Amino acid sequence: MFKKLSLSLLLACGVSAQADEVNIYSAREENLIKPILDLYAERTGTTINLVTGGADELTQRLELEGANTPADLLLTVDVGRLYRAKEAGLLQSVDSEVLNSVIPAKYRDSEGEWFGISLRSRVVIYDRQAVSASDLSTYADLADPKWAGKICVRSSSNIYNQSLVASMISHNGVETTEAWAEGFVANFGRPPQGGDRDQISAVAVGQCQLAISNTYYLAGMLQSADADERAAAASVAVFFPDQNGNGAHVNVSGAAVTKAAKNRDAAVKLIEFLVSEEAQAWYAETNNEYPVRADVPPSELLQSWGSFKADDIALDELGIHNADAVRLMDRAGWQ
């Protein structure tokens, strides 16, 4: 055991600068990213080293390790986190023709410090029997007293909710959003608890009529190994809000080259691979996320929900208003 310890010590010492190596800190869980990385490694002979973990914790580790960090690439979900990493000065600007041409400008950082590689929308899930789609319209409408006791949503500690509220602050300002949050909280059918799938289950059994969820959670439930979960998911439907206004809230999972990257070029090549048609199609199928490229279709399941108008907000805005959003939700009593 001690041999192994000293071995790993030695390994950590050797700052190797070989071009065919990429070290990744990933907030995407291993089973959602490793298969595609393995494919890339096999095809190009690149050695890929992976640590997964919470986005905030990995960012903290990156920051503390400073210029000596072994990490070349940071993979994470939610632009709020990418923004924080950028603000902390942990990322570097990348000017890649491939990335700039393939990824729409609104899904990458204007200074090239991070790139969206897949998309998800935060939507309203409704009970097919109790609610008709014509009753639904906007996020703002969810604060209307007609929904009193009918809405299920997870805790405001979750970044997806924080980013949603941050987008509303960006569109409408703090005061309007706070008034909305108060009305929204008053409509809760139960104290916030569990994850997005739990909100969908609660709608399926009738504890609530509406839930807020990311799209891939419902897709995951529809394809679950558990028959009960499939049945629950089948009893609800998706509604994309704000289709006549700003559009439905969209967020990214993204990749960024670290400031201290020792294998910069290899890291950029890997990002380019992640937005290749092949990798995008794999992503779409495996986790039911929307591809970031317009020329790769989403999974059949997602296509069956129809296309929708996405909010065009500059994603930076979600990061800028994050702390405001948390304070606002604290004040509104959103646990």
Q: What character string, x for contact with other proteins (CB under 8 A) and - otherwise, covers 31-70?
A: xx----------------xxxxxx-xxx-xx--xxxxxxx
Token pair recorded at residue 231: 């049945």
Q: Does 317 help bind other proteins (rule: CB under 8 A)?
A: no
- Return d(Cα 200, Cα 281) in angstroms, integer: 26
Encoded amino acid at 246, one letter: N
Q: By CB under 8 A, tell whether 105 contacts other proteins.
A: no
Least separation, in Å, of the C-beta of 29 and other proteins?
Answer: 4
* Paired tokens of 39: 């494919």
Tell me if 162 contacts other proteins by CB under 8 A: yes
How far are the Cα atoms of 17, 32, 200, 240, 332 from residue 146, in angstroms, in the given order? 62, 39, 20, 19, 19
Least spacing, CB of residue 170 vs other proteins, in Å: 17
Q: 329 near 156, Cβ under 8 Å? A: yes
Residues 6+ apart with CB under 8 A from 135: none
Indicate the SS3 state at residue 79.
helix
- The residue from 99, 119, 232, 256 that contacts other proteins (CB under 8 A) is 232
Total residues at interface with other proteins (CB under 8 A): 66
Determine if 17 is a binding residue for other proteins (CB under 8 A).
no
CB of 295 to other proteins, least distance (A): 28
Q: Given the complex with other proteins, which of 190 and 309 has the nearer CB atom?
A: 190
The residue range among 29-37, 94-102, 249-257, 270-278 that interacts with other proteins, by the rule CB under 8 A, is 29-37
**277 or 330: CB nearest other proteins:** 330
Cα radius of gyration rounded to whole Å, the chain: 21
Secondary structure element (H or E) that encloses residue 295, with its range: none
Residue 61 CA to residue 67 CA, distance in Å, equals: 12
Angle value at C-alpha 156, between 187 and 130, nearest 5 degrees: 35
- 294 counts as binding other proteins under rule CB under 8 A: no
297 counts as binding other proteins under rule CB under 8 A: no
**Of 195 and 247, CB closest to other proteins:** 195
Structure tokens at 109: 């950082």
Residue closer to other proteins, measured from CB, 130 or 314: 130
What x/- string results for residues 117 through 156 when contact with other proteins is judged by CB under 8 A?
-------------------------------------xx-
Q: Does 182 bind other proteins (CB under 8 A)?
A: no
Chain centroid to CA 229: how far?
23
Using the rule CB under 8 A, is 179 a contact of other proteins? no
Residues with Cβ within 8 Å of residue 120, at least 6 apart in sequence = 214, 215, 216, 250, 251, 252, 253, 289, 290
Q: Pick from 5, 97, 101, 306: which binds other proteins (CB under 8 A)? A: 5
User: How crowded is the C-beta side of 267, counted as CA atoms within 13 Å?
Assistant: 31
Contact between 201 and other proteins by CB under 8 A: the answer reads yes
Helix (H) or strand (E) holding 287: helix 277-287
Look up residue 333 and give its DSSP letter: T
Q: Which residues bind other proteins (CB under 8 A)?
A: 1, 4-5, 8-9, 11-13, 15, 23, 29-32, 49-54, 56-58, 60-61, 64-70, 84, 154-155, 157, 162, 190-198, 201-202, 204-207, 217, 220, 224-226, 228, 232, 322-323, 326-327, 330-331, 335
